[in-house]
């Protein structure tokens, strides 16, 4: 029979495991500790819950930022975003012809299909979609979970401000580009070139 110390077992570990009812005693100790601690009950809905800062409640729409690029609708894995638009001509002073711009007519999100993956918010290049911590939008009819752009725009008031930048984190790309541009050496002023065939003048 081998010595338990040869296998690296601490002193008394083998004997403690061999005691009958040791696991039961440990379980009862956890139960007694929980029974004596005071429980905390949140009185919802009378008291609003403390949500994490990056809670995914509902998707809010900033209509003035939307350019109808359709990236969010194309990248949505559930195809729950429905967008419709038309083009309008905008007269630009000094331009030879008027320009065209997209006007958003319809922007609906079916939250009965949405799986809250956040892909639409990440791919939006113009910051038109945001996460809102608002989660109390349950309906009795599943058809009422289809929200239009007016309803999505109302949730913009509940979008929290962006968190402060971590001083120990990686700087933003704009800050890095500005610092690189400021530290770049400026080119020396070029000398005046003489016309071809002109007399360069006496050499010094």
State the residue for tokens 């008291």: 47
Closest CA to 71 of 62, 59, 83, 63: 83
Asked whether residue 48 is domain-assigned, the answer is no
- Asked whether residue 193 is assigned to any structural domain, the reply reads no
The long-range contacts involving 89-93, CB below 8 angstroms and separated by at least 24 positions, are none
- Structural domain count, the chain: 1
Q: Is residue 58 part of a domain?
A: no
Question: Is residue 127 situated within a structural domain?
Answer: yes
In this prediction, the residues of the chain whose per-residue pLDDT falls under 50 are: 204
- What does the pLDDT read at residue 89? 87
Q: What is the CATH number of the domain that holds 149?
A: 3.30.70.3270
Residue 146 within any structural domain of the chain: yes
Q: Is 71 domain-assigned?
A: yes
pLDDT value of position 204? 47
pLDDT of 200: 56
Kindly report, residue by residue over 51-78, the tens digit of the pLDDT.
887 888 999 999 999 999 999 999 999 9
DSSP 158-170: GPPPPPPPPTTSP
- Position 126 scores a pLDDT of 93
Give me 46's structure tokens: 């009378």
Model pTM score: 0.62
Alpha carbon 145 to chain centroid distance? 23
- Decide if 80 is inside a domain: yes
Pairing of strands 129-132, 58-61: antiparallel
Residue 125 lies in a domain: yes
| DSSP H/E element including 110 | strand 99-110
Domain of residue 149: give its range.
Answer: 67-158
């Amino acid at each position: 029979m081998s010595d338990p110390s040869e296998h690296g077992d601490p002193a008394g570990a083998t004997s403690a495991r061999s005691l009958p009812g040791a696991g039961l005693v440990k379980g009862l100790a956890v139960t007694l500790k929980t029974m004596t601690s005071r429980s905390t009950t949140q009185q919802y809905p009378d008291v609003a819950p403390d949500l994490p800062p990056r809670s995914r409640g509902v998707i809010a729409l900033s209509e003035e930022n939307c350019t109808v690029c359709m990236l969010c609708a194309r990248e949505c894995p559930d195809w729950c975003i429905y967008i419709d638009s038309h083009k309008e001509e905008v007269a630009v002073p000094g331009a030879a012809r008027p320009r065209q711009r997209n006007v958003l007519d319809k922007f609906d999100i079916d939250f009965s299909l949405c799986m809250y993956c956040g892909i639409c918010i990440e791919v939006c290049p113009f910051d038109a979609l945001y996460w809102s911590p608002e989660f109390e939008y349950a309906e009795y009819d599943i058809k009422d979970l289809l929200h239009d752009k007016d309803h999505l725009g109302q949730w913009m008031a509940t979008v929290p401000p962006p968190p402060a930048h971590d001083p120990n984190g990686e700087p933003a790309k704009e800050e890095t580009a500005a610092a690189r541009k400021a530290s770049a050496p400026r080119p020396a002023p070029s000398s005046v070139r003489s016309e071809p065939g002109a007399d360069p003048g006496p050499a010094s």
